[in-house]
Structure 1
C-alpha cells in the first residue's frame, strides 16, 4: 500500500489543509510552504481520472472511493492492474519520468481525490532530493506488489488467492475489525483479471466460502465474517 503517511517527504498538502483522517500525511515543508497548485476533484462512478496516453498533470491522492488502474489491449479489452483505496497515491511514475500515462485510471465508485501539480512536485525534488527518493520508493513498492501477485498466481491455490483478495480489500476498509462489510468495487470479470481465477471458479468460491461461514454475500455486498480465518487459509495453502 502506497499510503502517503509512509513517506516523510512525499505527502499530500491537501491532507494538511483538510485535516483528513483518511490521509494522515502531508507534503514536506518545502512544498507545503510553496504556492501549491492543489486541486480537489470529484468523479462519478465510471468516469476516467486519466486515460492511457494522456500527459501527466500531477500526483494524485485518493480521499474517498475506489479507483481501478486499467491497461487496455489493441482490441479494446481491459484488465485491472491495481485497485487504489483511500490513503493511496497514484500517478507518480509519470511525474517522476515526465512521460504520458501508460495506464488508465477509472472511478469504480463515486470518488474524491486531490491532485498536486507536477510542477510543484518537481520544484520540491529540486529543493529536496529526498522527495525523488520517496517517489522511487513508491515505484519499488509497486514492483514488489507485482512480484507478490505473480508469486501468488504461481504458488498458491485459487482458494488461497481468493482469500488473499478478500482479506486485502477488507483491510483497506477497516484494518482492525475481524468482521467487515463492503461492496465489491469491481465485476467478477475484473476480479478474474486480478486473481487469475476464472469467473466460473470465482462464483463457486463465493458459494464455498459462504458455506464455510467465512463470508456472506448479497447482491455484491460482501461481509467478511472471520477475517482471521481467511488469513490462516492464505498461510496454509
Structure 2
C-alpha cells in the first residue's frame, strides 16, 4: 500500500479541472490498494468514505434480492470509478462492488473530493456529467442484459459487450475471464444452461473454449444471433 502516484479516471477527465495544488492534496490523502480476484470492495448500503478508481483489473456491481439471489447490474474496467453517488450524496452504496480479476484501485478521500466539488465549478460540472453518464450506461446495460429477446441472443450480446469493453488478444481470447455463474446471473438463467449454450456456440465455430478461457472466433456470427 501507499499513495497513488497519478489519478486516472476517464469519466472525470483525469481530474484535469483541479489545480495542481488540489491534485497534490488529493494524492497525498489517497491510497493504492491491490485486491485479489473475488474481493469485496464495498457492500450494498455501506457508508463509503472513498472514491474507488480502477487502475487495473475489473469489477462488477451487483444487488442481492430477498431470496439471496445475486443480480449483476454492470461490469467496470480500467479508468472507471465506483462510489461517486455516495461521495456526492453521503448516502450508502446502492450496490455491492466485487473484484472480477486481480484489481488495483486508487482510493481517493471523499472529503477532499467534496471540498473540490464545493469550491471548483468546473470539477463539479465534470462530476455531474459523470453521474449522468452513469445513468445512461445503466439504462443501456439494462436494455442489453434484460431485453425481451431469448437467452441465446442475449448471451451473444453479452460476449460481444465483453469483447468491446475489455478487449481481446490477437487470438481472440477475452481479456477478462467471466465465470459461467456470473453470465447466468446477468442473463437470469442457470449456469448449466449457459454452459450448454456456449458449447453450441463452439460447435457453430462462433467461439472457442480452451481451459475455461473464451475466444471470440466469429464476431459477425455472434452479431447475427444477437440481432
In structure 2, the residue matched to 1:230 is: 222
Aligned residues: 220
Query: What's the RMSD between the two structures over aligned residues?
Result: 3.0
In structure 2, the residue matched to 1:143 is: 135
TM-score normalised by length of structure 2: 0.81
Closer, same or farther: CA 71–27 of 1 in aligned 2, 3 Å: same
2:206 to 214, 218, 233: 214
Closer, same or farther: CA 215–99 of 1 in aligned 2, 3 Å: same
Shift of 1:76: 3.9
Matched-pair contact (CA < 8 Å) for 2:17–2:122: no
In structure 2, the residue matched to 1:10 is: none
In structure 2, the residue matched to 1:160 is: 153
SS in 1 for 2:51: strand
In structure 2, the residue matched to 1:172 is: 165
Matched-pair contact (CA < 8 Å) for 1:182–1:221: no
Matched-pair contact (CA < 8 Å) for 2:208–2:215: yes
1:109 to 101, 107, 114: 101
Q: How far apart, in 2, do the equivalents of 1:111 and 1:23 lie? A: 19
Q: How far apart, in 2, do the equivalents of 1:127 and 1:231 lie? A: 47
Q: How far apart, in 1, do the equivalents of 2:18 and 2:104 lie? A: 25
Q: How far apart, in 1, do the equivalents of 2:129 and 2:189 lie? A: 30
TM-score normalised by length of structure 1: 0.78
Q: How far apart, in 2, do the equivalents of 1:31 and 1:49 lie? A: 29
Shift of 1:52: 2.1
In structure 2, the residue matched to 1:126 is: 118
Q: How far apart, in 2, do the equivalents of 1:182 and 1:167 lie? A: 12
Q: How far apart, in 1, do the equivalents of 2:61 and 2:96 lie? A: 6
1:1-237 maps to which residues of 2 (within 5 A)?
14=4, 17-18=5-6, 25-30=13-18, 32-34=20-22, 35-36=25-26, 37-152=29-144, 153-174=146-167, 179-185=172-178, 187-234=179-226, 237=227
Matched-pair contact (CA < 8 Å) for 1:44–1:110: yes
Shift of 1:177: 6.3
Q: How far apart, in 2, do the equivalents of 1:178 and 1:142 lie? A: 32
Unaligned runs of 5+ in 1: 1-12
Shift of 1:106: 1.4
Q: How far apart, in 2, do the equivalents of 1:137 and 1:23 lie? A: 8
Matched-pair contact (CA < 8 Å) for 1:66–1:85: yes
Shift of 1:166: 0.9
Matched-pair contact (CA < 8 Å) for 1:180–1:224: yes
Q: How far apart, in 1, do the equivalents of 2:19 and 2:30 lie? A: 11
Unaligned runs of 5+ in 2: none
